[in-house]
């Protein structure tokens, strides 16, 4: 099939739905490769819109805006999973869209996502879908189903839609807490997922072309704090080789079964109990580049954003090579409200970038957001070195300067 593809060449216009930092880094990469870029986003000051050749300032489902985007672009992608799948479907009627609306729709619904994982034969945590009051009542009733509820508690109750970075989820330990938790989340469709003892978290980023070719970045070991990715470390041996191969195989199976085109991140939990030591369960997918892949900008010969451009332009995919061990530190708005070692305060102060950049192998990426807010993703810092030990040492130095807790 690859011989019938007609690659888009530099000079073509590529578009993206969503104007956040992922769209901004995608736009920089596309422009470096010679493409023009267009962004559709409702925020007049969106990070991607500010750096693109064209910014269509409309809502994602605005018919006139979508028509304008389709008129100027030869291919379109998305930069976050909550862009309405209907907008992608409308654009796909006249031009190349990746990933497809059908794939994004699966990522937007935890229940459909879990079902997809099961169909792929990829291990998932024990769970139950709660769409209606009747389903909840049945789960809570003192019947045979009550045994199922007991096996899922303590658990995490997650809204099926619109949850990210720890939002839209609650820990529930008892049936009463489950009942109250569902009410607190607005009685919207949810998934109850059993809490499992975790050793660590990891992720795999794959890129799949329209011709079925598929490549992947190395397995990324991740540390989350308060539901938000804080640190990613990537180097040979960061996870055992057998576990890494298991994660890569599972991620490719998930992408293949979706007939996916584009960049896909698959997140995993590594279990810690004695009976299942080292077993993986898949957590969720992100149909786009992912925070845990940011290190690839400075540590690999092909970044996740270049893979995104290549897939949407039907350009050849080559297996990325990591040339340097790397750590990535997520830079949240909290850092603008404290000095090194101090508690947060109300006075905004620019972090000590000059001290951070004096450290060897540091690469600062800021997203162009004009206002820092607590919990807001403002940028990231990549650290590369000749050895994992050297990279970790510098990463810990940078964290100390910025007031990030050690890891």
The confidence band for 140, taking pLDDT boundaries of 50, 70 and 90, is confident
Which tokens is 120 given?
């792929």
Q: What is the pLDDT of residues 53-110, one digit of tens each?
A: 999 999 999 999 999 999 999 999 999 888 999 999 999 999 999 999 999 999 999 9
Proportion of the chain above pLDDT 90, given as a percent: 86
What confidence score (pLDDT) does residue 73 get? Answer: 98
Strand partners, 285: 266
If you classify domain 198-402 with CATH, what class do you get?
A: alpha beta
Tell me the pLDDT band of 155, cut-offs 50, 70 and 90: very high
| Angle (CA) 161 270 116, round 5° | 40
Q: What is the CATH number that goes with domain 2-97?
A: 3.40.50.20
Note the pTM of the prediction, 2 decimals.
0.93
Residue 189 near residue 234, CB atoms below 8 Å: no
The 3-state secondary structure of 80-137 reads CCCCCHHHHHHHHCCCEECCCHHHHHHHCCHHHHHHHHHHHCCCECCEEEECCHHHHH
Q: pLDDT tens digits for 157-196? A: 999 987 666 678 999 999 899 999 999 999 999 999 999 9
In tens, the pLDDT along 229-278 reads 999 999 999 999 999 999 999 999 999 999 999 999 999 999 987 455 56
Over 50: is that where the pLDDT of 148 sits? yes
Distance, in Å, from the CA atom of 92 to the CA atom of 261, rounded to the nearest integer, reads: 13
Burial of residue 360 (CB within 10 Å: 0-12, 13-18, 19+) is middle
The distance of Cα 371 from the centroid of its chain, to the nearest Å, equals 23
Kindly tell me if the per-residue pLDDT of 143 is higher than 60: no
Comparing 15 with 3, which gets the higher pLDDT?
15
Cα(280)–Cα(228) distance, rounded to whole angstroms? 20
Q: What is the mean pLDDT of the chain?
A: 93
pLDDT value at 1 more than 50: no
Whole-angstrom distance, CA of residue 348 vs CA of residue 338:
8
**Total residue count of the chain as it appears in this document:** 407
Domain ranges of the chain: 2-97, 126-194, 198-402
> Three-state SS across 263-330?
EEEEEEEEECCHHHCCCEEEEEEECCCCHHHCCHHHHECCCHHHHHHHHHCCCCCCCCCECCCEEEEE
Distances (CA, A) of 10 to 50, 97, 253, 259: 21, 18, 32, 26
Residues 364 and 17: their CA atoms lie apart, in Å, by 25
pLDDT reading at 317 higher than 70? yes
Contact predicate 95/73, CB 8 Å:
yes
Backbone phi and psi for residue 108, each to the nearest 5 degrees, phi listed first? -80, -10
Q: What is the CATH number of domain 126-194?
A: 3.30.1490.20
Backbone dihedral angles phi then psi of residue 275, each to the nearest 5 degrees? -75, -25
What pLDDT band is residue 394 in, cutting at 50, 70 and 90? Answer: very high
């Amino acid at each position: 099939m690859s011989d019938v593809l007609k690659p888009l060449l530099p000079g073509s216009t590529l578009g993206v739905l969503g104007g956040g930092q992922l769209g901004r880094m995608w736009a920089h990469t596309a422009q470096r490769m010679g493409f023009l870029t267009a962004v559709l986003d409702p925020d007049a000051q969106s990070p991607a819109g500010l750096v693109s050749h064209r910014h269509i300032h409309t809502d994602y489902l605005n018919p006139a805006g979508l028509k304008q985007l389709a008129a100027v672009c030869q291919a379109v992608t998305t930069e976050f999973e909550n862009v309405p799948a209907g907008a992608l479907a409308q654009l796909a009627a006249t031009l190349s869209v990746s990933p497809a609306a059908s794939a994004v729709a699966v990522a937007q619904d935890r229940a459909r996502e879990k079902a997809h994982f099961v169909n792929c034969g990829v291990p998932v945590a024990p769970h139950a879908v709660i769409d209606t009051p009747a389903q909840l009542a049945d789960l809570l009733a003192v019947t045979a189903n009550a045994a199922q509820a007991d096996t899922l508690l303590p658990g995490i109750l997650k809204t099926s839609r619109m949850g990210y970075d720890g939002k839209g989820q609650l820990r529930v330990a008892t049936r009463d807490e489950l009942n109250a938790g569902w009410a607190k989340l607005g009685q919207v469709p949810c998934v109850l997922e059993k809490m499992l003892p975790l050793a660590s978290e990891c992720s795999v980023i794959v890129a799949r072309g329209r011709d079925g070719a598929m490549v992947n970045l190395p397995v990324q070991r991740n540390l989350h704090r308060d539901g938000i990715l804080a640190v990613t470390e990537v180097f040979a041996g960061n996870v055992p080789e057998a576990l890494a191969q298991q994660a890569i195989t599972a991620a490719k199976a998930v992408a293949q079964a979706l007939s996916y085109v584009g960049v896909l991140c698959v997140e995993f939990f590594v279990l810690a109990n004695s009976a299942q030591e080292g077993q993986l369960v898949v957590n969720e997918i992100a149909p786009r580049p992912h925070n845990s892949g940011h290190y690839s900008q400075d540590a690999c010969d092909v970044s996740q954003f270049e893979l995104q451009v290549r897939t949407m332009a039907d350009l050849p995919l080559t297996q990325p090579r990591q040339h340097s061990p790397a750590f990535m530190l997520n830079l949240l708005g909290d850092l603008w409200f404290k000095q090194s070692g101090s508690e947060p305060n109300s006075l905004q102060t620019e972090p000590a970038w000059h001290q951070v950049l004096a450290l060897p192998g540091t690469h600062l990426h800021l997203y162009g957001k004009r206002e820092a807010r607590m919990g807001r993703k403002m940028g990231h810092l990549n650290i590369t070195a000749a050895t994992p030990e050297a990279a970790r040492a510098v990463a810990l130095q940078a964290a100390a300067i910025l007031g990030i807790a050690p890891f």
